[in-house]
Structure 1
């Protein structure tokens, strides 16, 4: 079912990060044979694969396998260093873990033709194998939003340059991956983050300058850009929101708008009559309508009750909320009412203050976010995966930290994306945030960059405090009503500009930002490119192999970070 309540903790489990046992380095006896008897050298061009040991209490090791099929003596790492070696090798070779064995790194030279052939062999672009799934153990929320892909490419940000040999760690494969997976190791340089200044809100006078003959709006792109940069003055919202939410056409004349409103008013009351005319006896035999009414009454009774427009037991605003939501059930039978929709309607009704107009504006908003409320949660999984893509580009160390604390699935952002930060900002700030997001500028997923901006603002608190997964969730929830919408929007726009200035931005990141059209999905369910971070140009997808069973799309999944203990005590 659809559950959109705030996540609650279950303290009855002990997460795997709660107890960390340190192991002292073992005292090493002097070898009985000369070191030279174990020495060897091999050309990188002769390597076929590299096998990594399983994590455990013993020392980590790597085994190099040559093209001839022979194995060289194991390289043991008593004090860590497997990742560092793989990271250095990745400068000269392409390393990708085998679809059959996640601990076997296949080695390919940096050659375009060989690389293309290797991708084909690895099925990296096969849409039917997109659910390369590794479950998050011990994460109390991952089963709800199951199966998100971890972004395994790494980016080096110019704001935090790494000295030579100290770039972010190569990601290890998952500890227990029940299904085949792959990783592509690459590095993209981000430029400096530009400074951004917000503009003042658009006023009634500014708006009137865009109204031409017959009441038609002129220079609409420039007007939208102004709304994006500064929002709207409160007195203008009642009119402008009807355009932003698609109720009124940007191209229509004043007379055309009046005719449209008359038509939509009749349509609204016809739908409202459908449920209004149901007698109590009929409703008792209509479990679906009765269930919707009960859920709506419960949610409306606790929606924005501190707002004067809705406070008090007999407030007419509450009745309008209920009527509009019940009528929406008639309008969208398949979706009906899902908890959280009242949060989206409340600000619209507060601003519009007209039942019919508010209903159609709400329908326009739901056109943007209705996928958030579908039972399959495919849209929410896709958005969380896209958020992870962006965050991995912008801040790999933060992603690594969240992974290490079983929070890499970003499920603590679920409520943010579900109802567009409605409960995170004060009510007036929500109005400003939404009208900026409704412009569709600078791309289709600004709300994901808003989430990145909030995490960017909190990164030091999260990373320096030593929070575990429960503390991370608690801290995120405690940000409610403490965020400045202007600061967040400023940072979100700066992040967008920083990303779009990167000349080597991976193709599927460009898709998220709306820089290139999204690839055509191969299945009816929404999906993300199966590559965590795909090349700058979208490669052609090879046909699926005959022996590969088609699997349902799992959108993006999270692969947990290995603990440093597997490599021995490093400190």
Structure 2
């Protein structure tokens, strides 16, 4: 990743995320432009902190919604937007938290390495290592290493330190069901890792692919209820690119998953985003009844055609650069100053920022979408709908005419929506979502 100097008005941000030469013609050009005076610049970002380190988050949120974040500071700003740190903490307090979390991640990673030595080795796998009943799959004398350039390579076990997996390769059956389930997911993580953002130069390096695999493997072990699900690699990938330290990237991903882990809770009877799809249907029925009726007649009343949009937060509908721009606008709009304390582990020793808890939060420190929910009472009466649902509704509204006149079946609906990939305007989509949100609240209040 190349960071350039602050450029002229309208500088494209694509150059910060280099595309592999052979993929340039296949990748849509980003619509996100770095605009001095609108985009949150490094200078404006650093000026928002007091001498002690307190951050005026309200001022930052408005700037982000106006023009996004300059790529050179995107990672550190995201840490605040995702609730990793409290704006009312000091530089020293945040550094203490950062070091503590890095140590915690290192402990979890070591725990996983003891169960499977590829974790933390700079390598990753994309072949199964165990059967459903706990029997190791590999030949006792080798481990399979996935190499993106050379395919599968046999690696002698002598190259690795002794660990519990070595014993399993010597035909010792694994009996712990949780360990079996985790080991079963590792090759799927590997398969997804080598398919994630492969147009980027960044992922030509195996060390970056292994970072992504390690974080997802550790998260899958820690999240006992959800584990790993396809799509998580799309959510985690930007964190690896934006934050140099693997532990910091993990914690950013972990905070994002606290918002989205429900998307990956799937059973034989339901999918994780089923409730959101149902809400999208209700919103469309209120705001565009003609389109809703048409979709129902085509057999799409369950809105499963919007599954991918909500599952991975529009990563596939926008170019890489534009999806980051969209995410930060969404998070800025939804920002709640209590976010840090909602996520913070209760066992951590309190800091001086503790004094901010329990007080009535300033509406000025909230995102625009959050403020609207507070004003209308939606925040108090029930869990407010995430802005992503209104973003999906905005996309459908934008394509309403085309869907009504050209869609004669669900295949047509899917094709029309897939044709949008890479051609959507993130700022326009966010503006449309905000307008639909206001309109929906107004109509819902009347009924």
Q: TM-score, normalised by structure 2?
A: 0.65
Task: Supply the distance in 2 between the matched residues of 1:235 and 1:264 (Cα, whole angstroms).
Answer: 23
Q: Residue 452 in 1 paired to residue 384 in 2?
A: no
Matches within 5 A, 1:39-188: none
In structure 2, the gaps of 5 or more residues are 1-36, 116-162, 335-366, 371-384
Corresponding position of 1:272: 109
Task: Supply the distance in 2 between the matched residues of 1:370 and 1:453 (Cα, whole angstroms).
Answer: 23
Corresponding position of 1:344: 235
Alpha carbons 2:266, 2:272 under 8 Å: kept: no
Out of 237, 245, 251, the position equivalent to 1:354 is 245
Classify the secondary structure of the residue corresponding to 1:213: coil
Corresponding position of 1:229: 66
Matches within 5 A, 1:206-217: 206-217=44-55
Normalized per residue, which structure has more helix?
2
Moved more, 388-397 or 283-292: 283-292
Task: Supply the distance in 1 between the matched residues of 2:437 and 2:330 (Cα, whole angstroms).
Answer: 14
Corresponding position of 2:256: 365
How far 1:466 sits from its partner (Å)? Answer: 4.3
Moved more, 395-404 or 200-209: 200-209
How far 1:408 sits from its partner (Å)? Answer: 2.1
State the Cα deviation string for residues 401-440 of structure 1 (Å, max 9, x = none). Answer: 1112112221100011011011111000010011112221
Classify the secondary structure of the residue corresponding to 1:409: coil
State the Cα deviation string for residues 372-419 of structure 1 (Å, max 9, x = none). Answer: 001244651111111112111211111111112112221100011011
Alpha carbons 2:407, 2:413 under 8 Å: kept: no
Q: Residue 478 in 1 paired to residue 315 in 2?
A: no
How far 1:465 sits from its partner (Å)? Answer: 1.6
Out of 225, 228, 245, the position equivalent to 2:82 is 245
Classify the secondary structure of the residue corresponding to 2:316: coil
Task: Supply the distance in 1 between the matched residues of 2:284 and 2:87 (Cα, whole angstroms).
Answer: 35
Alpha carbons 1:272, 1:330 under 8 Å: kept: no
How far 1:289 sits from its partner (Å)? Answer: 2.7
Corresponding position of 1:331: 222
State the Cα deviation string for residues 423-463 of structure 1 (Å, max 9, x = none). Answer: 11100001001111222140451111111111111111111
- Number of residue pairs matched? 305
Corresponding position of 1:391: 284
Out of 67, 87, 96, the position equivalent to 1:259 is 96
Q: Residue 415 in 1 paired to residue 338 in 2?
A: no
Corresponding position of 2:197: 304
Corresponding position of 2:338: none
Spell out structure 1 runs of 4+ moving beyond 4 A.
none
Corresponding position of 2:299: 406
Task: Supply the distance in 2 between the matched residues of 1:447 and 1:213 (Cα, whole angstroms).
Answer: 36
How far 1:331 sits from its partner (Å)? Answer: 2.4
Alpha carbons 2:308, 2:314 under 8 Å: kept: yes
Classify the secondary structure of the residue corresponding to 1:236: helix
In structure 1, the gaps of 5 or more residues are 1-198, 508-534, 537-571
Alpha carbons 1:300, 1:318 under 8 Å: kept: yes
Corresponding position of 1:281: 166
Rg (Cα) greater in structure: 1
Q: Which protein, 1 or 2, shows the higher relative CO under an 8 Å CA cutoff with sep ≥ 6?
A: 1
